[in-house]
């Protein structure tokens, strides 16, 4: 259920939907707005797969995990180095276990690299989908990159040491208390983060030490060779 774990979703703000559990904190790091709510629907789609808790509707992977939401992209889906760096730092202050990044700048940023390095040292697992990054970030050792593909059933695959999440027609929450089929990127990244939170919960229950790389390897160990 994700009990005793927490995550931050660095995206379009705080989702509002009747199926979602309450947020544990919100923050805004983009300019020219004070509105914390998600008005794009991006964060709402991620949140549904993770924390929705409606037995008659959508049931998320980790409904007991504490959810923190950060608005780091504007209405045009643009962000900035400052917004992303501040969002990760804020996540560290909240002592979350997993941070879900829905964007990174195309060019390398020494500021963000330093923040990611510090986050790794604090055992903060940072997840991002490969489609949300440029090649400049592919070799960064402080983030876990998720690949995805369409398949008939949900599964985890290890392809040349790439963590691939196979997804298929995953319904999730959306704006105005509606539902929608999540796109491949959203579904796979949410599922990977949710599984990581479950593994972190298990490690905490067993009082086992772990690092972000160890959690990534645990996910790979669940995978099917392919």
Note the pLDDT tens digit of each residue in 91-144. Answer: 999 999 999 999 999 999 999 999 999 999 999 999 999 999 999 999 999 999
The region, left, alpha or beta by phi > 0 then psi within -120 to 50, assigned to residue 169 is left
The whole-number pLDDT of residue 48 equals 97
8 Cβ contact partners less than 8 Å away, ≥ 6 residues apart: 67, 68, 69, 70, 87, 90, 91, 94, 96, 98, 99, 100
pLDDT at residue 217 above 80? yes
- Please list, residue by residue across 45-80, b when 16 or more beta carbons sit within 10 angstroms of its beta carbon and e when fewer do: bbbbbbbbeeeeebebbbbebbbbbbbbbbeeeebb
Does position 226 have pLDDT exceeding 60, yes or no?
A: no
pLDDT at residue 56, as a whole number? 86
Alpha helices (H) along the chain: 42-51, 81-93, 110-121, 184-205, 212-221
Cα–Cα dist 197/189, whole Å: 12
* Closest of 107, 61, 109 to residue 82, by C-alpha: 109
pLDDT of residue 224: 57
Which two structure tokens, joined as six digits, stand for 132? 């949300």
- Asked if residues 69 and 26 have their Cβ atoms less than 8 Å apart, the reply is yes
* Dihedral angle, C-alpha 83, 84, 90, 96, nearest 10 °: 150
- Our CA angle for 20, 98, 26, nearest 5°, is 50
Asked whether residue 225 carries a pLDDT value surpassing 60, the answer given is no
């Amino acid at each position: 259920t994700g009990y005793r774990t927490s995550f931050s979703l660095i995206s379009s703000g705080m989702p509002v939907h009747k199926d979602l559990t309450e947020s544990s904190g919100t923050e805004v790091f983009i300019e020219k707005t004070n509105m914390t709510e998600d008005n794009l629907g991006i964060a709402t789609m991620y949140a549904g797969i993770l924390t929705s808790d409606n037995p008659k509707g959508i049931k998320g992977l980790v409904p007991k995990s504490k959810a923190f939401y950060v608005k780091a992209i504007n209405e045009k889906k643009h962000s900035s180095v400052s917004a992303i760096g501040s969002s990760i730092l804020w996540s560290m202050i909240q002592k979350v276990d997993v941070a879900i990044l829905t964007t990174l700048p195309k060019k390398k940023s020494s500021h963000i690299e330093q923040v990611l390095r510090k986050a790794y040292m604090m055992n903060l697992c940072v997840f991002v989908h490969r489609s949300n990054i440029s090649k400049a970030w592919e070799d960064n050792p402080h983030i876990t990159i998720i690949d995805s593909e369409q398949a008939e059933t949900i599964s985890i695959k290890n392809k040349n040491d790439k963590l691939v999440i196979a997804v298929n027609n995953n319904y999730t929450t959306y704006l105005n208390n509606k539902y929608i089929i999540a796109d491949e990127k959203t579904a796979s990244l949410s599922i990977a983060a949710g599984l990581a939170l479950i593994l972190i919960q298990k490690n905490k229950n067993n009082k086992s030490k772990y690092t972000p790389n160890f959690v990534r390897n645990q996910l790979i160990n669940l995978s099917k060779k392919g």
